Each structure stands twice: as structure tokens, then as C-alpha cells.
């Protein structure tokens, strides 16, 4: 959002650009000094109740801001909070919308509510009005555009890809000299790494099971960096299978260490989640492309991320049930590093396609 807001600001088409947000913006995100920050409700992701309450508080705050402070401003609404679309029922501002997650469809996928639920049906009905009145409807994948097309004509939907973090430092040094590897004492090990939210929806148990199959190869290490609901479950699984010596769990790394930890892996793991991940693409994959990392993707073969991985030939994609195939891929790469060299080279070639210049596509000369 910072890069999109900056694109609006530098376009020179607007007298004032305001970013309404709940959480603090780190200094390294380089928000244009001309952008006005407007605080709304802080996002509390602790559980479903706190998330929902955050959505409601933010939406109510946005309604009052549009009534009394930004009555004549044009709006660029994103799908977080998902209830933000309802402010268009109470305000007359012109608006565009960017859909990262499709609601109420996403709630049905998570079993929060079913399509027969009255809230679900009213929300779906509201979507048809919301998309119809929007001047531009944006989303991030072709699959999401197809789903949205049940609410509005497909020719109104524009797909703009996500991009890599422009602040992420690219570390080019040889792996044995990597700062993270040196601090961990793993200079010459083969590292398979998942770094990010270890949430309830990410099926990473297959990596622990793959570690069991490869346990005789003590130079192959599995790193899990981050926090989340699934972390203690994975730790218990690693203990149960007696692979604690090759499965390493670490907390989130500092911003200073992050470029080195991400760059330290031989294979980087991306998971789209157990349910509902086929249409979306985790933004982290574009960071991995930027730093030239081969990708092991845990997702459906029909998913958007699988299409991305195979389009650019930057890795392999497996279903979470394909434990033996995952283990065989890791072992083959361990025994023949040239396999990974080709993936890394391809990632470097296509990295220029996914930069923050894509943010300019959201700015129209209205």
C-alpha cells in the first residue's frame, strides 16, 4: 500500500493523498513525505473475534471520516478490512477497489460461514452493487479475476501482479560466507527453509515427514522461521519422529538479519494454505524471485502459484500429501546442485517483471 500511495502522490494528479491505516509504518518503507497519514483501528490478529472487531471499528471510523473529513476525496479501497466495501453504501465518494481476498467467498472456505448463511447471501448481493459502482476493479491473479467475475463483468476487472519488497536487500555472497549461516554454524549444510507466518492454514507437516525420510542425510537441514498456530504442532511432530536434530525452529528474524536468513537457504519453501489457496499468490514468492531462490511450493498443481513457478521454471510444486516426492526432490537437489542453479538463474532473469513500478498501473488519469 505504501508503494501504491507513493505512486498516486508522484503522479501529480491529486491535490492531496491520504493513507488511512491502523498499524505503524516502519521507516524503511519510505512513505512519501507529502502523504497525510490518517489513523484508523489497529489490526488485532490474535483470534477471529479480535480480527472481526478490528474490521468493524476500522469501517465505522472510515464512514465518519468520509462524512466529515474526506467528503470530496476519491477512495481507493482494498479488501482489508473486508467490511470496508460497506462504507460505499453510506458515503457518496467515487471509488476504485483492489481485491486481495474475495469476501464472503473466503469466509466460506475457512468454514466461518456457509453460502446458505444469511450474512453470506446479503454480502454476496452487496458485492454486485459494490463492483458495479466502482470505476475500476483490480485484483492480483487471473484466478481471482475469474471468481470476481460472478459479481461483475470480467472486462471491468484488471489484474495487476504483486511485486517484491523494494527494501529487501539482495545478498550476493557465497552461501558459506552468509552471515546467518555463520551465526548458526551451518556454513556447509544444505538448507530447506520456510520463513514467515506458521499459521493454521499452512500445511507444513509434510516437511517434517520429508525430514524423517531424509534423516540419514545429516547435512540436510529444515529451518522453520516465524511464529503461528502451527509452530508448536510442528515441533511436537519433529519430536515424535525424532528429527529434532535436523529440524530447526527459530523466531522471526530482525529486519537487519532478514536478507541474510532468506538468502541462506538452498531451497525456499512457499505454502498457499490448506484451503482456498489456489487463486491467490503469497507475496513472499516475489521476494524469493528477487533474491534468486529456487522454490519448493506446497500447493495444488492447478493453483496460481504453481502456474507462476512453472511459467518461469524457478522450482517445483507439490501437493502436501506428496511427501515422498518432496523428499526425492530435495535429495536430488542435494546430490546435484546444478538443478538449483538453473532455477536460481531463471528467478534472476524474471525478477525485473515484479518490481514496485507495477504500482503505477493503479493510477489512472481520471
Do residue 308 and residue 349 come from a single domain? yes
R_g of the chain computed on alpha carbons: 22
Domain count, the chain: 2
Q: What integer pLDDT is reported at residue 266 of this predicted model?
A: 97
Tell me the pLDDT of the chain averaged across its residues.
Answer: 92
The pLDDT of residue 32 is 94
Phi, psi of 327 (to 5 degrees): -65, -40
**Is the per-residue pLDDT at 112 higher than 80?**
no
What's the Cα-to-Cα distance from 255 to each of 168, 213, 223, rounded to whole Å?
9, 34, 18
In a domain, 29, yes or no: no
Residue 140 shares a structural domain with residue 181: no
Say if 30 falls within a structural domain. no
Mean pLDDT across 287-306:
93
Range of the domain at 59: 40-160
pLDDT at site 108 = 63
Where a domain ends, among 160, 185, 203?
160
Instruction: Tell me whether residue 139 is in a domain.
Output: yes
How high is the pLDDT of residue 117? 84
Both 189 and 151 in a single domain?
Answer: no
Tell me the pLDDT tens digit for each residue of 122-137: 999 999 999 999 999 9
Decide if 335 is inside a domain: yes
Distance CA 95, CA 4 (A): 15
Give CA–CA dist 86/127, Å, rounded: 9
- 82-87: average pLDDT: 94
CA dist 128 and 264 (Å) reads 46
**103 — pLDDT class (breaks 50, 70, 90):** confident
CA gap 64, 68 in Å, rounded: 6
Strand segments (E) across the chain = 18-21, 36-39, 75-78, 95-99, 137-139, 157-159, 190-195, 220-225, 247-250, 267-271, 295-298, 315-318
Residue 167 lies inside a defined structural domain of this protein:
no
Confidence grade of residue 364 (pLDDT, cut at 50, 70, 90): confident
pLDDT at 264 over 80: yes
Same domain, 155 and 193: no
Nearest to 257 by CA among 191, 333, 354, 169: 169
Does residue 111 carry a pLDDT above 70?
Answer: no
* Mean of pLDDT values over 202-229: 94
Confirm whether 78 is domain-assigned.
yes
pLDDT of residue 109 exceeding 90, the answer is no
pLDDT for res 282:
86
Q: Are residues 122 and 193 in the same domain?
A: no
Indicate whether 196 and 336 sit together in one domain.
yes
Do 118 and 229 share a domain, yes or no?
no
Give yes or no: residues 236 and 340 share one domain: yes
Q: What is the mean pLDDT of residues 168-195?
A: 95
- For residue 149, tell me if it sits in a domain: yes
User: Which domain-ending residue is among 127, 160, 193?
Assistant: 160
The pLDDT, as a whole number, for residue 277 is: 60
C-alpha torsion sign, points 246, 251, 254, 258: positive
The residue-averaged pLDDT of 98-114 equals: 75
Boundary (domain end) residue, out of 136, 160, 184: 160
**361 lies in a domain?**
no
- Do 264 and 238 lie in one domain? The reply is yes
Amino acid at each position: 500500500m505504501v508503494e501504491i500511495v507513493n505512486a498516486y502522490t508522484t503522479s501529480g494528479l491529486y491535490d492531496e493523498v491520504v493513507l488511512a491505516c491502523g498499524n505503524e509504518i516502519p521507516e524503511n518503507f519510505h512513505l512519501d513525505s507529502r502523504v497525510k497519514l490518517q489513523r484508523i483501528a489497529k489490526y488485532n490478529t490474535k483470534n477471529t473475534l479480535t480480527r472481526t472487531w478490528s474490521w468493524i471499528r476500522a469501517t465505522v471510523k472510515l464512514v465518519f471520516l468520509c462524512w466529515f473529513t474526506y467528503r470530496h476525496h476519491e477512495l481507493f479501497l482494498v479488501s482489508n478490512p473486508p467490511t470496508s466495501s460497506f462504507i460505499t453504501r453510506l458515503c457518496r465518494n467515487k471509488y476504485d477497489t483492489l481485491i486481495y481476498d474475495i469476501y464472503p467467498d473466503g469466509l466460506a472456505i475457512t468454514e466461518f460461514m456457509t453460502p446458505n448463511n444469511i450474512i453470506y447471501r446479503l454480502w454476496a448481493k452487496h458485492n454486485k452493487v459494490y463492483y458495479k459502482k466502482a470505476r475500476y476493479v483490480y485484483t492480483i491473479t487471473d484466478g481471482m479475476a475469474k471468481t470476481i467475475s460472478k459479481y461483475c463483468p470480467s472486462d471491468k476487472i484488471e489484474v495487476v501482479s504483486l511485486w517484491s519488497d523494494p527494501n529487501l536487500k539482495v545478498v550476493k555472497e557465497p552461501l558459506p560466507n552468509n552471515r546467518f549461516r555463520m551465526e548458526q554454524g551451518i556454513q556447509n549444510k544444505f538448507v530447506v527453509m520456510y520463513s514467515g507466518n506458521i499459521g493454521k492454514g499452512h500445511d507444513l507437516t509434510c516437511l517434517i515427514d520429508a525430514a524423517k525420510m531424509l534423516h540419514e542425510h545429516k547435512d540436510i537441514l529444515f529451518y522453520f522461521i516465524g511464529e503461528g498456530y502451527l509452530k508448536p504442532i510442528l515441533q511436537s511432530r519433529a519430536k515424535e519422529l525424532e528429527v529434532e536434530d535436523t529440524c530447526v525452529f527459530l523466531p522471526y528474524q530482525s529486519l537487519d538479519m532478514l536478507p541474510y536468513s532468506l538468502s541462506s537457504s538452498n531451497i525456499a519453501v512457499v505454502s498457499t494454505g490448506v484451503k482456498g489457496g489456489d487463486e491467490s499468490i503469497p507475496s513472499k514468492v516475489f521476494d524469493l524471485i528477487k533474491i534468486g531462490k529456487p522454490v519448493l511450493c506446497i500447493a495444488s498443481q492447478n493453483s496460481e502459484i504453481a502456474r507462476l513457478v512453472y511459467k518461469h521454471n524457478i522450482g517445483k510444486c507439490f501437493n502436501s500429501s506428496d511427501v515422498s516426492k518432496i523428499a526425492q526432490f530435495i535429495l536430488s537437489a542435494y546430490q546435484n546442485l546444478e538443478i538449483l542453479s538453473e532455477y536460481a538463474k531463471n528467478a534472476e532473469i524474471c525478477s525485473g517483471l515484479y518490481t514496485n513500478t507495477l504500482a503505477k498501473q493503479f493510477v489512472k488519469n481520471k
